[in-house]
Amino acid sequence: MDLKRRKIDTPSGVKMQDVRGAHKTRSPKGIKPMLATLAGSPPEGDDWLHEIKYDGYRIISHIKNGKTALFTRHGKDWTVKFPLIASELTKLPVSEAWVDGEVVYMGKDGRTSFGDLQKALSEGRDGGLKYIMFDIVFMDGFSLAKTPLIERKKVIKGLFAGKKAGRPVLVYGDYIIGNGSVFFGRACGLSLEGMVSKQTSSLYTQRRSRSWIKVKCRKRQEFVIGGYTPAKGSRNGVGALLVGVYERGRLIYAGRVGTGFTEKTMAGLYPKLRKLEKKAPPFRDMALSEQRGVRWVRPVLVAEAEFSEWTGKGVLRQASFEGLRRDKPAHEVFRETAEEVKEKKHSPIHKKAAPPEVKLTNPDRLFYPEEGITKKELADYYGTVSRFMLPHLSGRLLTLLRCPESFRDCFFQKHATGRPAEKIKRVAATEDGKRVYYMTVDSVEGLLSLVQLGALEIHTWGSRSDDLERPDRGAFDIDPGSGVEWVRLVEAANLVRELLKELGIKSFVKTTGGKGLHVVFPLDSTNTWKEVEAFTRAFAEYVSRRLPERFTHIMSLKRRKGRIFLDYMRNLRGSTIVEVFSTRARENASISFPVGWNDLARVRSGFFTVRNFKKYLKKGPWKGYFGIRQRITKEMMNRIGL
């Protein structure tokens, strides 16, 4: 086959010269990758497509006449490091192309791992590596830089349509359009690094752009190594790395990275540090107390680290070493800060997204007669909160309180019966040894379908359908007995928060829409149901034993009089809590609403309703929830007597 003369068709049969924006030109001498801007939250709307944020090395590939060269984002030739990938790229049905992608190590579960990628490189093997092809800039005499991204995607997919394409080593960088918050919630729920959102109409500009944004599930970035402390009791080990970032040409101290080292990473890292040792610290304005026992090094090595947060003084907390970055020079490392990226209202490709198409029968039916709230108004409410609610709700098994006529005439529905509405999905689960089906939703249309069913309360499992046996959420129901005032309820919730914090668990609080509060803590789906149940039960017993006049962990109404029932049983497999933003079947149309800890004393039970919620959405009290990676450890269990 003469590759030089072969014309490539997109899947739709369009010739290259017919691709929108493509123009004939000479092949560029090189390509600088288009970079994404860090943002705090994903964009919404059908003007954006969303991809997984791959945990690897950005690589530009140049295929020409049966040969391939691979370059880092700074133009270094890394072809020799990935010979298998280069070999597979030459087999694509193209005479010349510049492709943008990422080299990753992908495990059997489909997740990428930077640590395993580092290990593969240090051992000189590329058998387990894959090349994710997510963009193309030039092909067979045509520049695609001014072609809208959504069209460039079609061209890449066309390369995988031939008989010799689609090798396991090469992977098409797929995407979804719209539902950014849902995509982000699922990505974080699967412990991925994050997501990259790109405007479907974006052209390829060889610089950082706000048309591409990245949102991380957890805080992670590169740092310059400026020193280290020796490991205690070891001649050849590292206790911690002292790292920094550049600011206006000066290397500013950013703290210590003290965990994440393995024997193999230590074996490769320690000799490099020894060769770079120097007498004076490279950091500017560093406190003397931080300099004791430190061995300084020339600031040329770049490490990637994951951390919990920046302190007010600009120092890292709980930083963990992920690996060395060989593709980025030290002088380009700076502190990453998220920008607000406003959504584009109009797109040359997609029209404004149409409202969800869910037919409401009897839209004027009064679900809350005293308040005059109709089915239509309830649907409008869920349409408004959907982008905040769906990341928490998506994929969870549902138990519904259905009230077809009004909130006074209701029944619970646990299992899916018959054929549910199109946007309500069925999920199989095992219950008492039998196979049963639950309902789940992952779209605004699904939410509105629940409204059509007359669901006034949405209760959910603590795990998701893709991993039912491992919860990604724990919760305590702070349930006041008769005679307990709100101020005592607030004190109780804050006590639970502080005790969890001492154990190393960050938590959030929400109203239940009833008389109590829920203290919720995200988990990374490592623990089993039994472990979460055992921990929360022991925690509740621990608190009630020490403050028996204020708390009880026993459900008995007699024991609860004048006390607060610390209900841990929401963490049993199959148990549920009312989902955040769910309405309640109560007279004032109250809702379960997320609250900032500092605002808790200023609200009351049933404070948030379908009518007043909008002015409280702006605060974002649960900001950062999906970026938290935490689990229940044996040490935590030991500390509370397990």
Active site members: 53
| Ranges of H-type helices in 547-608 | 557-560
**For the chain, how far is it from start to end, CA to CA, in angstroms?**
69
Q: How many CB atoms lie within 10 A of CB 162?
A: 15
Q: Which residues touch 313 (CB under 8 Å, ≥6 apart)?
A: none
The position carrying tokens 């004393």 is 601
- Cα(26)–Cα(22) distance, rounded to whole angstroms? 12
Burial of 624 (0-12, 13-18, 19+ CB in 10 A): middle
CA 247 – CA 348 distance, rounded (Å): 39
- Report the C-alpha dihedral over residues 335, 338, 344, 348, rounded to 10 degrees: 40
Can you tell me the distance from the alpha carbon of 136 to that of 171, in angstroms, rounded to the nearest whole number?
14
CA distance 379 to 591: 14
DSSP string, 380-433: HHHHHHHHHHHHHHTTEEEEEEE-SS-TTS-EEE-S--S---TTSEEEEEEETT
3-state SS class at 352: coil
**Token output for 1:** 């086959």
- Candidates 145, 162, 152; CA nearest to 207 is 145
Number of Cβ atoms within 10 Å of the Cβ of 294: 18
